[in-house]
Amino acid sequence: MRRYQSGERCFAGAKLDSITLDLRNSNLERADFSGSFIFADFAGANLRGAVFANANVKTCDFSNADLRDAVFTGAALCATTFIDAKLEGADFEGAYYHSRTLEAGEKPWW
């Protein structure tokens, strides 16, 4: 969070799995987590325009998060929760969600 607050937005390739990160209600708008391995609680977070392309975000909680225009192309999303998340404009093409690959325009179901 300190890095984000100082203006950094690129966290591509980060390994954020040593502990469960509590990022609930955080503002991470437009952050880039491409190719990262993440185990975090993003419930209620502002992730509008964030990029999770080709990231491993299995078991993350995005409940009530603002994911409008977020990019999850090619991401691994198994056991990830999106309950009541704002998903307008989010791109999940090629993401792997509960044993299947999502098609263009398709959103995760729960």
What pLDDT is attached to residue 1?
A: 58
C-alpha distances out from residue 32 to 44, 54, 110, Å? 18, 11, 25
Contacting residues for 5 by C-beta, under 8 A, at least 6 apart: none
Looking at every residue in the chain, the average pLDDT score rounds to 85
Spans of the chain below 50 pLDDT = 110
The helix/strand/coil state of 43 is coil
Contacting residues for 23 by C-beta, under 8 A, at least 6 apart: 1, 40, 41, 42, 45
Q: Does domain 1-94 have CATH number 2.160.20.80?
A: yes
What pLDDT is attached to residue 44?
A: 98
What pLDDT is attached to residue 69?
A: 98
What pLDDT is attached to residue 8?
A: 61
- pTM of the complete model: 0.81
Cα within 13 Å of Cα(31), Cβ side = 26
What pLDDT is attached to residue 7?
A: 66
